[in-house]
Amino acid sequence: MNFILSFVKGRSRLLAIYGVRRVGKTSVLKVALSEAGVPYCYIDARMLEGDFTRRRLYQLISSCLTELSVRWRLEGIIRSIARIVRGVNVLGSGVELSVEIDWSRTYLTDLLNALSRHLDVFVLSIDEAQVLRMLKGFGKVDMVQVLAYVYDNLGNVKVILTGSEVGLLHDFLGLDNPRSPLHGRFIEELTIRPFSRDLSIQFLITGFRQYGVEVSMGEILEAVNRLDGIVGWLTYYGNAGYAVSLMSMRFIGGPWS
């Protein structure tokens, strides 16, 4: 959390957050973004849903600009941006405002440039960013090029990426690959670790106490041994009722399935 907050306030430009599935990456990112008090866009790359087209990506960007405008009361700024960036249109106003981007005419670098000029700081966060690699190809969008452009030219635009598949995210960004547009750029890296054993025990005891559920220490220890400190599984176990969930989690891909 503090690491992300310092990143947003500091001078670094690019942050990658790693961590195994369900360890809490998205939660940490979202809490930090809302604490940071800085305008941001949040895009979950999994929302491309296998539709790895420019059109779909631009839909996601339109929604995040709409949210940016409403949440941060940036209607005036969004309207100015729409005036200078080709293909960006603003429909409605106030909470009814909606930003539309013409995927066939708009360049992301123009849009990011305009955001950079109109805002003191802007955070672009992309959850499960390794999925963006699927967008590459003729007539699509090479997001690594876009990110390299941002890194090199837009000092006040900070990029935060998360990835459960560290290897894929690394390969996608290609920081060590001389052929990648991002080669040699500096990246901050944060790995979200599972809870320690003690913290996991504490977490479950507190959780069960809150709900007034009686659970023996033996049962808690058994769960902790199996759940490896992965907060997503611990909460799942805590919420679903311990007896049912330890068994059913085998079937939904729990850590020991």
Ligand X SMILES: Nc1ncnc2c1ncn2[C@@H]1O[C@H](COP(=O)(O)OP(=O)(O)OP(=O)(O)O)[C@@H](O)[C@H]1O
Q: Whose Cβ is closer to ligand X: residue 39's or residue 238's?
A: 238
Q: Which does 170 bind (CB under 5 to 8 A by kind): ligand X, Mg ion, none?
A: none
Which amino acid is it at 111? L
Binding mask 13-32 for Mg ion (x = CB under 5 A): -------------x------
Do strands 14-18 and 157-163 pair parallel, antiparallel, or not at all (unpaired)?
parallel
Q: How far is the CB of 19 from Mg ion (least distance, A)?
A: 9
Do strands 14-18 and 122-127 pair parallel, antiparallel, or not at all (unpaired)?
unpaired
Coil, strand or helix: which one is 104? coil
Q: How far is the CB of 123 from ligand X (least distance, A)?
A: 17
Q: How far is the CB of 206 from ligand X (least distance, A)?
A: 10
Coil, strand or helix: which one is 60? helix
Q: Whose Cβ is closer to ligand X: residue 66's or residue 164's?
A: 164
Separation CA 74–CA 79 (nearest Å): 9
Residue 23, burial from CB neighbour count under 10 angstroms (0-12, 13-18, 19+): buried
Q: Whose Cβ is closer to ligand X: residue 181's or residue 194's?
A: 194
Q: How far is the CB of 22 from ligand X (least distance, A)?
A: 5
Q: Whose Cβ is closer to ligand X: residue 19's or residue 181's?
A: 19
Q: How far is the CB of 46 from ligand X (least distance, A)?
A: 8
Angle at 71 between CA 146 and CA 15, to 5 degrees: 35
Q: Whose Cβ is closer to ligand X: residue 45's or residue 85's?
A: 45
Q: Which does 22 bind (CB under 5 to 8 A by kind): Mg ion, ligand X, none?
A: ligand X
Residue 18 and residue 163 in contact, taking contact as beta carbons nearer than 8 Å:
yes
Residue 185 and residue 151 in contact, taking contact as beta carbons nearer than 8 Å:
yes
Instruction: Provide the sign of the torsion angle of the four alpha carbons 203, 129, 15, 103, taken in this order.
Output: negative
Q: How far is the CB of 116 from Mg ion (least distance, A)?
A: 27
Separation CA 38–CA 41 (nearest Å): 10
Could you say whether residue 200 binds Mg ion (CB under 5 A)? no
Task: Give 241's DSSP letter.
Answer: -
Q: Which does 125 bind (CB under 5 to 8 A by kind): Mg ion, ligand X, none?
A: none
> Of 85-124, which residues contact Mg ion (CB under 5 A)?
none
Residue 251 CB partners (closer than 8 Å, separation 6+): 257
Q: Which residues bind ligand X (CB under 6 A)?
A: 19, 21-27, 164, 231-232, 235
Residue 97, burial from CB neighbour count under 10 angstroms (0-12, 13-18, 19+): middle
Q: Which does 13 bind (CB under 5 to 8 A by kind): ligand X, Mg ion, none?
A: none
Q: Whose Cβ is closer to ligand X: residue 114's or residue 133's?
A: 133
Q: Whose Cβ is closer to ligand X: residue 30's or residue 56's?
A: 30
Provide the binding-site residues for Mg ion, judged by CB under 5 A. Answer: 26
